[in-house]
Protein backbone atom coordinates (compact mmCIF):
# COMPACT_ATOMS: atom_id res chain seq x y z
CA UNK A 1 0.00 0.00 0.00
CA UNK A 2 1.50 3.31 -1.11
CA UNK A 3 1.55 5.89 1.64
CA UNK A 4 3.09 9.36 1.98
CA UNK A 5 3.42 11.19 5.27
CA UNK A 6 4.59 14.80 5.41
CA UNK A 7 6.08 16.47 8.44
CA UNK A 8 8.14 19.50 9.35
CA UNK A 9 5.65 22.30 8.90
CA UNK A 10 5.27 25.10 11.39
CA UNK A 11 5.23 28.82 12.03
CA UNK A 12 8.32 30.82 11.09
CA UNK A 13 9.08 34.51 10.60
CA UNK A 14 9.76 36.03 7.21
CA UNK A 15 13.28 35.12 6.15
CA UNK A 16 13.26 31.92 8.17
CA UNK A 17 13.76 28.33 7.09
CA UNK A 18 11.96 25.03 7.36
CA UNK A 19 12.66 21.53 6.10
CA UNK A 20 9.70 19.43 5.12
CA UNK A 21 9.93 15.66 4.97
CA UNK A 22 7.84 13.21 2.98
CA UNK A 23 8.25 9.67 4.24
CA UNK A 24 7.23 7.06 1.70
CA UNK A 25 6.09 3.52 2.38
CA UNK A 26 4.80 0.77 0.16
CA UNK A 27 7.22 1.64 -2.62
CA UNK A 28 10.85 2.59 -3.18
CA UNK A 29 10.97 6.35 -3.44
CA UNK A 30 13.43 6.60 -6.33
CA UNK A 31 11.21 4.41 -8.54
CA UNK A 32 8.40 6.97 -8.45
CA UNK A 33 8.32 10.59 -9.53
CA UNK A 34 7.64 12.81 -6.52
CA UNK A 35 6.32 16.33 -6.41
CA UNK A 36 5.77 18.99 -3.79
CA UNK A 37 2.65 21.11 -4.12
CA UNK A 38 1.07 23.75 -1.95
CA UNK A 39 -2.37 25.19 -1.48
CA UNK A 40 -3.21 28.47 0.19
CA UNK A 41 -6.75 29.23 1.37
CA UNK A 42 -8.98 30.13 -1.55
CA UNK A 43 -6.32 29.22 -4.09
CA UNK A 44 -5.71 26.30 -6.38
CA UNK A 45 -3.07 23.72 -5.58
CA UNK A 46 0.19 24.79 -7.19
CA UNK A 47 3.39 23.04 -8.11
CA UNK A 48 6.45 23.83 -6.00
CA UNK A 49 9.11 21.28 -6.95
CA UNK A 50 9.35 17.86 -8.55
CA UNK A 51 11.84 15.08 -9.08
CA UNK A 52 11.33 12.53 -11.80
CA UNK A 53 12.06 8.93 -10.91
CA UNK A 54 15.64 7.73 -11.30
CA UNK A 55 16.87 11.32 -11.76
CA UNK A 56 18.64 13.63 -9.36
CA UNK A 57 17.88 17.09 -10.77
CA UNK A 58 14.65 18.59 -9.46
CA UNK A 59 12.48 21.08 -11.25
CA UNK A 60 11.19 24.15 -9.43
CA UNK A 61 8.45 26.69 -9.79
CA UNK A 62 9.78 30.15 -10.63
CA UNK A 63 8.40 31.48 -7.36
CA UNK A 64 10.68 29.25 -5.27
CA UNK A 65 13.71 28.88 -7.55
CA UNK A 66 16.87 29.69 -5.63
CA UNK A 67 15.16 29.51 -2.24
CA UNK A 68 13.84 25.95 -2.05
CA UNK A 69 15.79 22.75 -2.55
CA UNK A 70 14.25 19.34 -3.10
CA UNK A 71 16.24 16.21 -2.35
CA UNK A 72 15.75 12.49 -1.94
CA UNK A 73 17.33 10.08 0.53
CA UNK A 74 16.93 6.59 -0.89
CA UNK A 75 18.24 4.92 2.27
CA UNK A 76 15.51 6.59 4.34
CA UNK A 77 12.93 6.35 1.57
CA UNK A 78 12.21 10.01 2.18
CA UNK A 79 11.98 13.15 0.08
CA UNK A 80 12.77 16.57 1.53
CA UNK A 81 11.98 20.16 0.73
CA UNK A 82 14.41 22.64 2.27
CA UNK A 83 12.80 26.06 2.29
CA UNK A 84 14.97 29.12 2.91
CA UNK A 85 14.30 32.86 2.80
CA UNK A 86 10.64 32.21 3.41
CA UNK A 87 8.13 34.86 2.43
CA UNK A 88 4.63 35.52 3.68
CA UNK A 89 3.28 34.30 0.34
CA UNK A 90 4.80 30.87 0.98
CA UNK A 91 2.12 30.30 3.61
CA UNK A 92 0.10 27.25 2.58
CA UNK A 93 -0.54 23.60 3.23
CA UNK A 94 2.27 21.66 1.58
CA UNK A 95 1.66 18.25 0.07
CA UNK A 96 3.90 15.64 -1.41
CA UNK A 97 2.63 13.44 -4.19
CA UNK A 98 3.96 10.43 -6.07
CA UNK A 99 3.31 8.63 -9.30
CA UNK A 100 5.05 5.72 -10.95
CA UNK A 101 4.34 6.55 -14.57
CA UNK A 102 4.67 10.32 -14.77
CA UNK A 103 6.28 11.79 -17.85
CA UNK A 104 8.61 14.75 -17.48
CA UNK A 105 6.21 17.24 -19.02
CA UNK A 106 3.57 16.32 -16.41
CA UNK A 107 5.77 16.80 -13.38
CA UNK A 108 4.00 20.03 -12.47
CA UNK A 109 0.44 18.80 -12.96
CA UNK A 110 -1.32 17.82 -9.74
CA UNK A 111 -3.94 15.85 -11.68
CA UNK A 112 -1.27 13.44 -12.93
CA UNK A 113 -0.28 12.16 -9.50
CA UNK A 114 -1.97 9.08 -8.08
CA UNK A 115 -0.82 9.26 -4.46
CA UNK A 116 -0.93 12.14 -1.99
CA UNK A 117 0.03 12.79 1.58
CA UNK A 118 -2.20 14.49 4.11
CA UNK A 119 -0.31 17.78 3.98
CA UNK A 120 1.62 19.86 6.48
CA UNK A 121 0.88 23.50 7.32
CA UNK A 122 3.51 26.16 6.75
CA UNK A 123 2.81 29.64 8.08
CA UNK A 124 5.22 32.52 7.53
CA UNK A 125 4.57 35.54 9.71
CA UNK A 126 5.34 39.04 8.46
Beta bridge partners of residue 25, listed in sequence order: 3
Instruction: Give pLDDT, residue 105.
Output: 85
DSSP code string of 30-98: GGSEEEEEEE-TTS--EEEEEE-TT----EE-TTTTTTEEEEEETTTTEEEEEE-S--GGG-EEEEEEE
Segment 24-42, tens digit of pLDDT: 999 999 999 999 999 999 9
Segment 50-103, tens digit of pLDDT: 999 998 899 999 999 999 999 999 999 999 999 999 999 999 999 999 999 888
Instruction: Give pLDDT, residue 104.
Output: 82
Amino acid sequence: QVKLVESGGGLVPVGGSLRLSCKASGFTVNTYSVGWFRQAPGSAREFVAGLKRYTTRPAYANSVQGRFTMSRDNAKNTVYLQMNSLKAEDTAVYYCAADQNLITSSLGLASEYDYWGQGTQVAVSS
